[in-house]
A = this chain, B = another copy of it.
Amino acid sequence: MTKDSPSARERIVAGAADMISRRGLNATSIRETAKHASAPLGSTYHYFPEGKQQLVTEAVRHTGEWTARSLRKELQAGPVAGLQAFLALWRKIVVDSDFRAGCPVLAVSIEEPAPGETSAVLTAAADVFATWEGLLADSLREHGAEPERAANLATLIVAAVEGTVAMCRAKRSAEPFDRTAEELRALILAAVGD
Protein backbone atom coordinates (compact mmCIF):
# COMPACT_ATOMS: atom_id res chain seq x y z
CA MET A 1 0.00 0.00 0.00
CA THR A 2 1.29 3.41 -0.81
CA LYS A 3 -1.36 4.99 1.34
CA ASP A 4 -3.18 4.47 4.58
CA SER A 5 -6.65 3.15 4.23
CA PRO A 6 -8.80 6.23 4.49
CA SER A 7 -10.24 7.18 7.82
CA ALA A 8 -13.95 7.26 8.35
CA ARG A 9 -13.79 11.02 8.26
CA GLU A 10 -12.05 11.02 4.89
CA ARG A 11 -14.52 8.52 3.53
CA ILE A 12 -17.40 10.73 4.55
CA VAL A 13 -15.91 13.80 2.90
CA ALA A 14 -15.05 12.02 -0.32
CA GLY A 15 -18.43 10.33 -0.41
CA ALA A 16 -20.21 13.60 0.16
CA ALA A 17 -18.32 15.17 -2.73
CA ASP A 18 -19.36 12.31 -4.96
CA MET A 19 -22.99 12.48 -3.95
CA ILE A 20 -23.14 16.24 -4.38
CA SER A 21 -21.64 15.90 -7.82
CA ARG A 22 -24.46 13.56 -8.74
CA ARG A 23 -27.56 14.82 -7.00
CA GLY A 24 -26.75 18.39 -6.15
CA LEU A 25 -26.34 20.04 -2.80
CA ASN A 26 -29.88 19.96 -1.46
CA ALA A 27 -30.62 16.42 -2.53
CA THR A 28 -27.60 15.18 -0.63
CA SER A 29 -28.63 14.42 2.92
CA ILE A 30 -26.35 13.86 5.83
CA ARG A 31 -28.04 10.57 6.56
CA GLU A 32 -27.24 9.25 3.12
CA THR A 33 -23.68 10.47 3.08
CA ALA A 34 -23.18 8.58 6.32
CA LYS A 35 -24.72 5.45 4.90
CA HIS A 36 -22.69 5.81 1.72
CA ALA A 37 -19.51 5.92 3.81
CA SER A 38 -20.66 3.09 6.08
CA ALA A 39 -20.44 5.48 8.98
CA PRO A 40 -23.11 6.04 11.57
CA LEU A 41 -25.08 9.26 11.50
CA GLY A 42 -23.88 10.13 14.97
CA SER A 43 -20.29 10.09 13.76
CA THR A 44 -21.00 12.64 11.10
CA TYR A 45 -21.97 15.19 13.70
CA HIS A 46 -19.01 14.17 15.76
CA TYR A 47 -16.58 14.86 12.93
CA PHE A 48 -18.45 17.87 11.60
CA PRO A 49 -19.95 19.62 14.59
CA GLU A 50 -20.99 22.61 12.49
CA GLY A 51 -23.27 20.34 10.54
CA LYS A 52 -23.92 20.14 6.86
CA GLN A 53 -22.28 23.41 5.98
CA GLN A 54 -18.98 22.21 7.34
CA LEU A 55 -19.19 18.85 5.65
CA VAL A 56 -20.06 20.38 2.30
CA THR A 57 -17.33 22.99 2.60
CA GLU A 58 -14.77 20.30 3.22
CA ALA A 59 -16.11 18.25 0.34
CA VAL A 60 -15.68 21.21 -2.00
CA ARG A 61 -12.16 21.84 -0.79
CA HIS A 62 -11.36 18.16 -1.08
CA THR A 63 -12.41 18.11 -4.71
CA GLY A 64 -10.55 21.33 -5.33
CA GLU A 65 -7.30 20.05 -3.94
CA TRP A 66 -7.56 16.69 -5.59
CA THR A 67 -8.06 18.34 -8.96
CA ALA A 68 -5.39 20.96 -8.35
CA ARG A 69 -2.86 18.25 -7.58
CA SER A 70 -3.52 16.56 -10.86
CA LEU A 71 -3.47 19.87 -12.70
CA ARG A 72 -0.19 20.94 -11.14
CA LYS A 73 1.45 17.70 -12.09
CA GLU A 74 0.28 17.66 -15.69
CA LEU A 75 1.06 21.33 -16.24
CA GLN A 76 4.73 20.49 -15.84
CA ALA A 77 4.53 19.21 -19.40
CA GLY A 78 3.19 22.56 -20.54
CA PRO A 79 -0.17 24.29 -20.71
CA VAL A 80 -1.52 22.24 -23.58
CA ALA A 81 -0.80 18.99 -21.80
CA GLY A 82 -2.28 20.42 -18.63
CA LEU A 83 -5.44 21.44 -20.41
CA GLN A 84 -5.82 18.02 -21.99
CA ALA A 85 -5.39 16.36 -18.63
CA PHE A 86 -7.85 18.73 -16.99
CA LEU A 87 -10.42 17.96 -19.65
CA ALA A 88 -9.70 14.24 -19.55
CA LEU A 89 -10.12 14.17 -15.80
CA TRP A 90 -13.64 15.54 -15.92
CA ARG A 91 -14.54 13.66 -19.01
CA LYS A 92 -13.65 10.43 -17.28
CA ILE A 93 -15.82 11.27 -14.28
CA VAL A 94 -18.78 12.05 -16.48
CA VAL A 95 -18.43 9.10 -18.81
CA ASP A 96 -17.50 6.50 -16.19
CA SER A 97 -20.57 7.45 -14.18
CA ASP A 98 -22.73 7.04 -17.27
CA PHE A 99 -23.36 10.80 -17.25
CA ARG A 100 -24.62 10.77 -13.70
CA ALA A 101 -21.75 12.55 -11.96
CA GLY A 102 -20.39 16.02 -12.54
CA CYS A 103 -18.47 18.63 -10.60
CA PRO A 104 -19.45 19.23 -6.99
CA VAL A 105 -17.90 22.68 -7.03
CA LEU A 106 -20.23 23.71 -9.80
CA ALA A 107 -23.12 22.09 -7.99
CA VAL A 108 -22.72 24.13 -4.83
CA SER A 109 -22.18 27.30 -6.83
CA ILE A 110 -25.73 27.42 -8.09
CA GLU A 111 -27.67 27.27 -4.86
CA GLU A 112 -28.66 30.53 -3.21
CA PRO A 113 -27.17 31.08 0.21
CA ALA A 114 -29.49 32.01 3.03
CA PRO A 115 -30.40 35.70 3.05
CA GLY A 116 -27.66 37.97 4.30
CA GLU A 117 -25.27 35.13 4.91
CA THR A 118 -22.27 34.77 2.65
CA SER A 119 -22.10 31.05 2.87
CA ALA A 120 -18.77 29.46 3.65
CA VAL A 121 -19.60 26.89 1.01
CA LEU A 122 -19.75 29.49 -1.72
CA THR A 123 -16.51 31.03 -0.57
CA ALA A 124 -14.83 27.65 -0.74
CA ALA A 125 -16.11 27.16 -4.27
CA ALA A 126 -14.80 30.56 -5.30
CA ASP A 127 -11.41 29.69 -3.84
CA VAL A 128 -11.31 26.45 -5.76
CA PHE A 129 -12.08 28.18 -9.02
CA ALA A 130 -9.44 30.81 -8.31
CA THR A 131 -6.87 28.13 -7.57
CA TRP A 132 -7.50 26.32 -10.82
CA GLU A 133 -7.38 29.57 -12.75
CA GLY A 134 -4.15 30.54 -11.04
CA LEU A 135 -2.44 27.32 -11.97
CA LEU A 136 -3.48 27.59 -15.58
CA ALA A 137 -2.61 31.26 -15.85
CA ASP A 138 0.83 30.78 -14.36
CA SER A 139 1.62 28.01 -16.78
CA LEU A 140 0.44 30.08 -19.73
CA ARG A 141 2.60 32.98 -18.67
CA GLU A 142 5.61 30.77 -18.19
CA HIS A 143 5.21 29.59 -21.74
CA GLY A 144 5.06 32.98 -23.31
CA ALA A 145 1.48 34.14 -23.06
CA GLU A 146 0.93 37.77 -22.37
CA PRO A 147 0.11 38.17 -18.65
CA GLU A 148 -3.33 39.64 -19.03
CA ARG A 149 -4.33 37.22 -21.74
CA ALA A 150 -3.17 34.37 -19.59
CA ALA A 151 -5.66 35.35 -16.92
CA ASN A 152 -8.44 35.68 -19.45
CA LEU A 153 -7.68 32.31 -20.97
CA ALA A 154 -7.50 30.61 -17.60
CA THR A 155 -10.95 31.87 -16.70
CA LEU A 156 -12.31 30.83 -20.05
CA ILE A 157 -10.89 27.35 -19.68
CA VAL A 158 -12.34 26.76 -16.23
CA ALA A 159 -15.72 28.16 -17.23
CA ALA A 160 -15.81 26.14 -20.42
CA VAL A 161 -14.87 22.91 -18.69
CA GLU A 162 -17.51 23.37 -16.00
CA GLY A 163 -20.14 24.22 -18.57
CA THR A 164 -19.15 21.32 -20.76
CA VAL A 165 -19.51 18.88 -17.91
CA ALA A 166 -23.08 20.02 -17.37
CA MET A 167 -23.90 19.95 -21.07
CA CYS A 168 -22.60 16.43 -21.44
CA ARG A 169 -24.78 15.29 -18.57
CA ALA A 170 -27.87 16.84 -20.09
CA LYS A 171 -27.17 15.42 -23.53
CA ARG A 172 -25.90 12.10 -22.23
CA SER A 173 -23.09 12.43 -24.71
CA ALA A 174 -19.40 13.23 -24.50
CA GLU A 175 -19.42 15.12 -27.76
CA PRO A 176 -19.35 18.58 -26.18
CA PHE A 177 -16.13 17.58 -24.49
CA ASP A 178 -14.44 16.83 -27.77
CA ARG A 179 -15.69 20.06 -29.30
CA THR A 180 -14.50 22.33 -26.55
CA ALA A 181 -11.26 20.40 -26.20
CA GLU A 182 -10.38 21.03 -29.80
CA GLU A 183 -11.10 24.72 -29.66
CA LEU A 184 -9.37 25.34 -26.36
CA ARG A 185 -6.31 23.47 -27.52
CA ALA A 186 -5.98 25.58 -30.64
CA LEU A 187 -6.56 28.70 -28.62
CA ILE A 188 -3.78 27.93 -26.17
CA LEU A 189 -1.38 26.98 -28.90
CA ALA A 190 -1.95 30.32 -30.54
CA ALA A 191 -1.61 32.25 -27.31
CA VAL A 192 1.72 30.79 -26.26
CA GLY A 193 3.10 31.48 -29.70
CA ASP A 194 3.36 27.74 -30.36
Contact = CB atoms under 8 A, between A and B. Distances in A.
Interface residues of A, number: 48
Nearest to A151: B179
Interface string A15-48: 0000000111111000000000000000000000
A126 B158 CA distance: 21
B183 A156 contact: yes
Interface in A96-135: 100, 102, 105-107, 109-112, 118, 122, 125-126, 129-130
A75 interface: no
Given A179-B151, A187-B187, A167 B171 contact: no
A163 B129 CA distance: 11
Contacts of A83: none
Contacts of A176: 155, 159
A172 B109 CA distance: 10
Contacts of A25: 24
Interface string A163-186: 110110111100110011011100
Copy number in the complex reads 2
Given A110-B107, A111-B27, A122-B170, A159 B180 contact: yes
A93 interface: no
A152 interface: yes
Interface of A: 22-27, 100, 102, 105-107, 109-112, 118, 122, 125-126, 129-130, 149, 151-153, 155-156, 158-164, 166-167, 169-172, 175-176, 179-180, 182-184, 187
17 contacts: A23-B26, A23-B111, A23-B112, A24-B25, A26-B26, A27-B112, A102-B110, A106-B163, A109-B166, A122-B170, A125-B170, A126-B170, A149-B183, A155-B179, A159-B162, A159-B176, A162-B166
